Amino acid sequence: MCGIVGYVGPKKAVPILVHGLKRLEYRGYDSAGLVALDRSGARRFRVVGRVQNLDTELFGQDLPMTSGIAHTRWATHGKPTENNAHPHTDSSNQFFVVHNGIIENHDKLRLQLEADGVVFQSETDTEVLSHLLAKFYDGVLEHAVEKTLHLVEGTFGIAAVTTHEPFKIVVARRGSPIVLGLGNKEMFVASDVSALVQYTDQVIYLEDNEMAVLTPDEYAIRTLDNRPISRKTFQIDWKIEDSDLTDFPHYMLKEIYEQPQTVENAMRGRVLQAEGVSKLGGLQAKIDEIKKLRKLILVSCGTSYHAGMVGRYIFEQLTDLNVEVELASEFRYRKLRLDETTGVLALSQSGETIDTLAAIREARRKGAITLGLVNVVGSTIARETDAGVYCHAGPEIGVASTKIFVSQLVILNLIALLIGRYQSVSLSEGMALLKELQELPNLIQKILAQAPLIEDIARKYHKAQSFLFLGRQMHYPVALEGALKLKEISYIHAEGYAAGEMKHGPISLIDEAFPTVALVPRDATYDKMVNNIQEIMARSGPVIAIANEGDRSIGDLVDDVIYVPRTHELLQPILSVVPLQLLAYYAALLLGREIDKPRNLAKSVTVE
Ligand code: M6R
């Protein structure tokens, strides 16, 4: 979704702003803009489409300014046009603002401003902010920001500047992330650390209802009620090289191939093989409360929700907890009865998904213990949960989440084992699970080596209008995830279904042009899955099976088969999902899609 970058210091601001916007491109956007300032005034540039277009617009311009703010916009109010692109300004072109989030009462504020004679230049909710800044300015920008934000309902991460104080940036947040980057006599700001890693590894996250004033030499944080805040500095734990493409054509492919390493990173220092248990430092502070839990609710969205669905089976197998799994966007509106014997575990790559964050806040309000399983260190969900575990998977840039799903499944096993070993899981069961967990990186390598075969299968079927993905038990969410991957990057319609539901409706869709991907591991559901496959084939539906190595009979039955190694039942989804990721990737590639930035999608969904 929208991205913010800001710089104030001794260097030329424009190249830093443009570079920062490029680092935020993966989040999804449809227009871009920046404003740069010095004592002589401000220059604003805005374009529809890619940051590359902004580069073209800026080419050959003499822009010595040393401060500025920039933005990538993902349209919510008004089409992606130049007029709607940020930064927005007031009628005198002296106040500029970039904004992530939604101003819910913008209609009312707009009418009041129009009654005062203000003429609006865009259809956005954001523009009211720039006019309000001009209205309230008393010579100190932060006073105007404070007064403006007191009138605002909704969510915001903003950065504001004025030509009256060109070497100052004021930022504020409520619901949309803002992170300050601390340099040597220079300050940076962004909505996401990936825009900052090239310049500094020292960052500070603003909390809701806080603002910060940045000048080259210092920063000051205070609440929107004007209480000064002192906040600890975070050290970013990844480097700029981690977010480079290296030799891969797309981030999604790079991240699929990183998965053996992702699994190792998820396990590093967390496996106590001889004791058959895991060690998770991030849960230690709350371990007494965690031991007393009777119920666990897993909340998340998208791919993280599918990981949560697999997690339900893992926790049911390894612990005595009652386990529920729910979409965060639904959970937060339910009539919930929670107390301190309920744990609510939020799964999120970004740690910023607004629905997941709201679910956690609702759970905490009602007295539950909140836990996080998050990739981005220092993100809002990571900070706001009572305890949690990081994926330590490095940045995931491709909009289609891949390596984080695998990382989440590994860590769900580790969390469930930690709890389960206080309950009924035996030493030998724990040791067996951990032993097989440590084999996974090699087994994933074996699947990756089959990429040419999977590409051939994608070539055979990529012109299909629709795909069905079927699985049972733990492989039902894997089927959902396979369908999500295919639809989001190839735009082929795909549905994931619990195979037992086939006969209750979807079977009417089957014909020779409608391929089914069937997940058919050698587990307790095997025979039933084979029956489902037979039913599809009897209706001339092509079937691609994801089966365990050595399962010749499936190979003889279906049109195409991709074999994956067999592992512990609770770990099998970690292997089964890899060919589905590759299948989606190659189908999208053959269809010429923009794989890392699929249309309409954003990497981190920070609006409801
Ligand atoms: O950052 P999160 O894990 O909270 O994000 C949740 C979803 O927005 C995300 O998984 C989305 O569905 C991806 N596009 C899936 O590939």
> What would the mean pLDDT of 566-573 be, rounded to a whole number?
98
Measure 481 CA to ligand 1 centroid, in angstroms: 11
Q: Is there a domain that residue 541 lies in?
A: yes
- The one catalytic residue in 168, 403, 597, 603 is 603
**Beta-carbon count within 10 A of 114 CB:** 12
Q: Is 605 in the pocket of ligand 1 (CB under 6 A)?
A: yes
Amino acid identity for residue 433 in this structure: L
Statement to judge: residues 305 and 378 lie in one domain: yes
H or E segment to which residue 527 belongs:
helix 526-537
Statement to judge: residues 455 and 420 lie in one domain: no
Res. 431 pLDDT band, cuts 50 70 90: very high
Tokens of 43: 């220059």
Q: Is there a domain that residue 77 lies in?
A: yes
Residue-number span of the structural domain to which 262 is assigned: 243-441
Statement to judge: residues 255 and 197 lie in one domain: no
Has 603 been annotated as catalytic?
A: yes
Measure 598 CA to ligand 1 centroid, in angstroms: 13
> What would the mean pLDDT of 592-604 be, rounded to a whole number?
86
> What would the mean pLDDT of 173-197 be, rounded to a whole number?
93
Q: Is 488 in the pocket of ligand 1 (CB under 6 A)?
A: yes
Q: Is there a domain that residue 414 lies in?
A: yes
Nearest CA to ligand 1 atom 9: 302
- CATH number for 226: 3.60.20.10
CA angle 418, 421, 425 (to 5 degrees): 130
pLDDT given at position 259: 98
Whether 241 has a pLDDT exceeding 80, the answer reads no
Statement to judge: residues 288 and 169 lie in one domain: no
Q: Is there a domain that residue 603 lies in?
A: no
Going by their DSSP bridges, the two strands 516-520 and 543-548 should be labelled as: parallel
Provide the H-helix boundaries in 206-348.
251-257, 259-267, 281-284, 287-291, 302-318, 328-331
Judge if the upstream peptide bond of residue 15 is cis by omega within 30 degrees of 0.
no
Statement to judge: residues 227 and 304 lie in one domain: no
Statement to judge: residues 221 and 355 lie in one domain: no
Statement to judge: residues 506 and 580 lie in one domain: yes
Among 227-231, 247-251, 308-312, the range with the most confident prediction by mean pLDDT is 308-312
Statement to judge: residues 412 and 463 lie in one domain: no
| pLDDT tens per residue across span 41-81 | 999 999 998 899 999 999 888 899 999 999 999 887 788 89
Whether 272 has a pLDDT exceeding 80, the answer reads yes
Nearest CA to ligand 1 atom 7: 302
CA angle 332, 338, 341 (to 5 degrees): 135
Closest ligand 1 atom to Cα of 300: 4
Q: Is there a domain that residue 596 lies in?
A: no
Nearest CA to ligand 1 atom 14: 400
Could you give the number of structural domains in the chain?
3
Pocket test for ligand 1, best of 605, 606, 607, 608 (most atoms within 8 A of CB): 605
Q: What is the pTM of this model?
A: 0.84
pLDDT given at position 245: 82
Res. 601 pLDDT band, cuts 50 70 90: confident
Share of the chain above pLDDT 70, in %: 100
Pocket test for ligand 1, best of 191, 303, 375 (most atoms within 8 A of CB): 303
Statement to judge: residues 499 and 535 lie in one domain: yes
> What would the mean pLDDT of 95-116 be, rounded to a whole number?
95
Pocket test for ligand 1, best of 1, 256, 350, 357 (most atoms within 8 A of CB): 350
Nearest CA to ligand 1 atom 8: 302
H or E segment to which residue 56 belongs:
helix 51-58
Has 279 been annotated as catalytic?
A: no
Q: Is there a domain that residue 446 lies in?
A: no
Measure 399 CA to ligand 1 centroid, in angstroms: 8
Q: What is the 3-state secondary structure (H, E, C) of 549-578?
A: CCCHHHHHHCCEEEEECCCCCCCHHHHHHH
Nearest CA to ligand 1 atom 11: 302
> What would the mean pLDDT of 240-256 be, rounded to a whole number?
87
- CATH number for 563: 3.40.50.10490
pLDDT given at position 70: 97
Q: Is there a domain that residue 494 lies in?
A: yes
3-state helix, strand, coil in the chain (%, to 5): 40, 25, 35
Statement to judge: residues 346 and 295 lie in one domain: yes
506 vs 278, residue with greater confidence:
278
Q: How far apart, in Å, are the Cα atoms of 572 and each of 31, 213, 394, 497?
A: 42, 50, 24, 18
Contacts of 504 (CB under 8 A, 6+ apart): none
Which strands, in side-by-side order, build the sheet including 95-100? 88-89, 95-100, 156-162, 169-174, 210-214, 219-223, 228-229
Q: CA 157, CA 171: separation in Å to the nearest integer?
A: 7
Whether 602 has a pLDDT exceeding 90, the answer reads no
pLDDT given at position 219: 97
Measure 353 CA to ligand 1 centroid, in angstroms: 8
> What would the mean pLDDT of 561-570 be, rounded to a whole number?
98
H or E segment to which residue 72 belongs:
strand 67-73
Amino acid identity for residue 367 in this structure: G
Closest ligand 1 atom to Cα of 400: 16
Whether 28 has a pLDDT exceeding 90, the answer reads no
Pocket test for ligand 1, best of 304, 381, 489 (most atoms within 8 A of CB): 304
| pLDDT tens per residue across span 311-355 | 999 999 999 999 999 999 999 888 888 999 999 999 999 999 999
Q: pLDDT averaged over the chain?
A: 95
Res. 481 pLDDT band, cuts 50 70 90: very high
Q: Is 130 in the pocket of ligand 1 (CB under 6 A)?
A: no
pLDDT given at position 79: 84
Amino acid identity for residue 257 in this structure: Y
| pLDDT tens per residue across span 375-410 | 998 889 999 999 999 999 998 999 999 999 999 999
> What would the mean pLDDT of 472-497 be, rounded to a whole number?
97
Q: Give Rg (Cα) of the chain.
A: 25
**Beta-carbon count within 10 A of 415 CB:** 27
Q: Is 358 in the pocket of ligand 1 (CB under 6 A)?
A: no
